[in-house]
Amino acid sequence: MKLSSYRQSDATTINLLFKRVFSDSEGPAEGALIGNLVLELIETTQPEDIFGFVAIEQTIIVGCIFFTRLSFMTPIDAFILSPVAVHTSYQGQGVGQKLINFGIDTLRKKGVKLVFTYGDPGFYAKVGFRQITEDVVKAPFKLTHPEGWLCQSLDDTEIEAIPGNVNCVKALNNPRYW
């Protein structure tokens, strides 16, 4: 399996991957929603505010992940992991964890200090995330599942409280995702 940065020219394939994977796991409405989200992320996010990576098996994209910038009142280099998908027939073979670790290592090398995500604490604990509260760092919107607000420090320092509000990129700036 090869891991690399995504290319804009793969947008349609990536859209279909997310649409299929999330339809399989959570139904067609969620598939359509997340498929559209990744297209919007690719099309509307400034290049310096987005990282995307793909897992390729025999020329086929079997997994994909996006990280986009979170901006605070203080200048902190922070990104949020969202979303990630592994083709349904490739799940449970370690592809997801390899893709997440590859993305996080790349961000660390670029000087990113904090990575957030919003998801299953049990799964994301396997790749270094831990739960934080909205008192420590606010999310862009009030969270429906506050137990899913997760963070990891990329420079071995403790996660400290960040005062004030936080902004996400345009494509994620919608309460339905939170």
Ligand X SMILES: CC(C)(COP(=O)(O)OP(=O)(O)OC[C@H]1O[C@@H](n2cnc3c(N)ncnc32)[C@H](O)[C@@H]1OP(=O)(O)O)[C@@H](O)C(=O)NCCC(=O)NCCS
Return d(Cα 165, Cα 177) in angstroms, integer.
Answer: 17
Residue closer to ligand X, measured from CB, 123 or 141: 123
Helix (H, G, I), strand (E, B) or coil at 146: helix
- Smaller CB distance to ligand X: residue 21 or 139? 21
Residue nearest to ligand X (CB): 96
Instruction: Give the residue with the Cβ less far from ligand X, 64 or 164.
Output: 64
Is the CB of 75 or the CB of 92 nearer to ligand X? Answer: 92
| Residues in contact with ligand X by the rule CB under 6 A | 21-22, 25, 82-86, 91-97, 119-120, 122-123
| Maximal C-alpha separation, the chain | 46
CB of 71 to ligand X, least distance (A): 21
Backbone angles phi and psi of 84, in degrees to 5: -135, 145
Q: Cβ(19)–Cβ(34) under 8 Å?
A: yes
Q: C-beta of 93: minimal distance to ligand X in Å?
A: 5
Q: Closest approach of Cβ 74 to ligand X, in Å?
A: 27
Polymer length of the chain = 178
Of 25 and 165, nearer to ligand X (C-beta) is 25
Least Cβ distance, residue 123 to ligand X (angstroms): 3
Give the nearest distance from C-beta 168 to ligand X in angstroms: 15
Q: How many angstroms separate the CA atoms of 3 and 36, rounded?
A: 23
Distances from the Cα of 87 to the Cα of 93, 115, 134, angstroms: 11, 24, 32
